[in-house]
Amino acid sequence: MNIEFSERLKQLPPYLFGEIDKAKKKAMDEGRPVIDLGVGDPDTPTPDIIVKKLQEASTDPSTHKYALNKGLRSLRVAMAEWYKKRFGVILDPDTEILPLMGSKDGIAHIPMAFVNPGDAVLASNPGYPPYISGAIFAGGEAHMLPLLKENSFIPDLDRVDKSVAKRSKLMHINYPNNPTGAVCGKDFYARTVEFAQKNGTIVCSDAAYTELSYDGYNPPSFLEVPGAKEVGIEFHSLSKTFNMTGWRVGMAVGNAKVLEGLGNVKSNIDSGIFTAVQVASIEALKNSESIKARMNKVYTERRDTLVDGLNRIGWIVDKPKAAFYVWAPVFGKYDSAALAKAMLEKADLIITPGNGFGKYGEGYVRFALTVGVDKLKEAVERIRRSFFV
């Protein structure tokens, strides 16, 4: 029997991190001393206080049943309290918060609630791949919002084609940004609200990295800006802040009608987050300040080790103000894919080519600060020996 993939599946580019995993596995199977700076998966364990709460909750038989799609009300209350304390944003836990199985879950599924064939989805480029794949699965047309160095990696909304803007049902923005590490101010969020009101566009703000920041900088929330809740929602995640990537817990918050649509999609696709994980997530949010301070100290040391080291050997790289990525311009005659390949072949380092995040990522590579300081020092030394001697 001839089995063919759907046309929508054929439209998808190869999933970037799947390709990186293949390259890593091949190198490791060959016995090479690979240092993986490719995928943004924290290497430090989930804090004990969260793990112990999971262990305790998982012994309660009441947590073994199907979860509610809207999640435990106590979790939604904890999320509302966290947003109020962190950003000063008031949210109704019954209508303006939807727990997710990680923010990727909501980002990928939300186009199904609002996008019809022929509708446009605006997505930051370079950007997180599910912004594009979600649009394709919903039958929409993905249109790029270029993130350029000359604009501090912030999209120029005035340059969006007017006919595309009028057809845009969704817009994905992401600050602190993956992969560039760029940050934005409330002035950009205010312009985004104005654009959304003018064109009837739902804004989806991906704020997964707001809690990873340096040098006293505290990234704002999109929802802090007047009018934001009227035009959109924000995705947040416990994955990076609390080293809970495998636990799959996140949230979408903001406009109640938008969340209703997303919730309707999810109720037809999944059965919610394991209840014991929800209980443990409440514990994480209650202890967010101490955990955040500890992790940001770790990542600050790692950022400084890598960036200072690269600059010292002659690779001029900017220090990010937030997120745990370093966005480095390529050098010599390399393009981004060729440099990433050379790093693996010559230095046994896995890094991510910028063009894997979209065409406007060409000319850059991304380092993830998800290994310890000693390995980062070793990575810098390997780069020096392989490329700068």
**Residue 229 shares a structural domain with residue 321:** no
User: What Cα–Cα distance (Å) separates residue 155 from each residue in 29, 34, 219, 240, 350?
Assistant: 41, 36, 17, 25, 29
Interhelix angle 48-58/275-286, rounded to 10 degrees, is 150
Closest by CA position to 208, among listed 179, 174, 181, 233: 174
Q: pLDDT tens for residues 171-222?
A: 999 999 999 999 999 999 999 999 999 999 999 999 999 999 999 999 999 9
CATH number of the domain enclosing 175: 3.40.640.10
Are both 32 and 60 inside the same structural domain?
Answer: no
258 and 294 assigned to the same domain: no
Residue 121 belongs to what H/E stretch?
strand 120-125
Residues 100 and 192 in one domain: yes
| Same-domain status, 162 and 309 | no
pLDDT at 18 over 70: no
3-state secondary structure of 328: strand
The β-bridge relationship of strands 35-36 and 349-350 is parallel
Considering its fold, how many domains does the chain have in total?
2
Q: Kindly report whether the peptide bond that precedes residue 179 is cis, defined as omega within 30 degrees of 0.
A: yes
* pLDDT value, residue 8: 84
Check whether residue 220 and residue 336 sit in a common domain.
Answer: no
pLDDT at 286 over 90: yes
Pairing label, strands 202-206, 232-237: parallel
**Does residue 70 or residue 80 have the better pLDDT?**
80
The CATH number for 39's domain is 3.90.1150.10
CA distance 31 to 49: 36
The answer to whether 334 and 289 have CB atoms below 8 angstroms apart is no
Mean pLDDT of all residues in the chain? 93
Domain range for residue 23? 7-45+290-388
Q: How distant, in Å, are the alpha carbons of 21, 100, 108, 380 from that of 265?
A: 30, 12, 11, 46
E strand or H helix that includes residue 344: helix 336-347
Same-domain status, 195 and 159 = yes
What is the spatial distance between Cα 103 and Cα 262, in angstroms, rounded to a whole number? 12
Task: Kindly state the percentage of the chain with pLDDT values over 90.
Answer: 85
Q: Which of 97, 43, 48, 44 is nearest to 71 (CA)?
A: 97
Indicate the length of the chain as a whole number. 389
Q: What confidence score (pLDDT) does residue 4 get?
A: 86
- pLDDT, tens digit (0-9, with 9 covering 90-100), for 368-388: 999 999 999 999 999 999 998
Q: Say how far apart CA 324 and CA 209 lie, in whole Å.
A: 8
Query: What pLDDT does 285 receive?
Result: 97
211: CB partners within 8 A, 6+ apart: 240, 241, 288, 292, 296
Place of tokens 């996140």: 250
Check whether residue 35 and residue 64 sit in a common domain.
Answer: no
Cα distance between residue 98 and residue 256, in whole Å: 9
Q: What pLDDT is recorded for position 19? A: 67
Burial annotation 49-72 (CB, 10 A radius, 16+ → b, else e): ebeebbeebbeeeebeeebbbbbb
Same domain, 236 and 121: yes
Q: How far apart are CA 51 and CA 74, in angstroms?
A: 18
Q: For residue 23, is pLDDT > 90?
A: no
- Tens of pLDDT along 307-344? 999 999 999 999 999 999 999 999 999 999 899 989 99
Q: Which pLDDT does position 28 carry in this prediction?
A: 76
- Which pLDDT does position 210 carry in this prediction? 97
Residue 2 lies in a domain: no
- Predicted confidence at residue 6, as pLDDT, reads 86
Q: Which residue has the tokens 């001697």?
A: 389
Do 278 and 351 sit in the same domain of this protein? no
- Position 68 pLDDT exceeds 90: no
Pair 107, 226 in one domain = yes
236-280 pLDDT per residue, tens = 999 999 999 999 999 999 999 999 999 999 999 988 999 999 999
Q: Give the confidence band of 15 by pLDDT, cuts at 50, 70, 90.
A: low
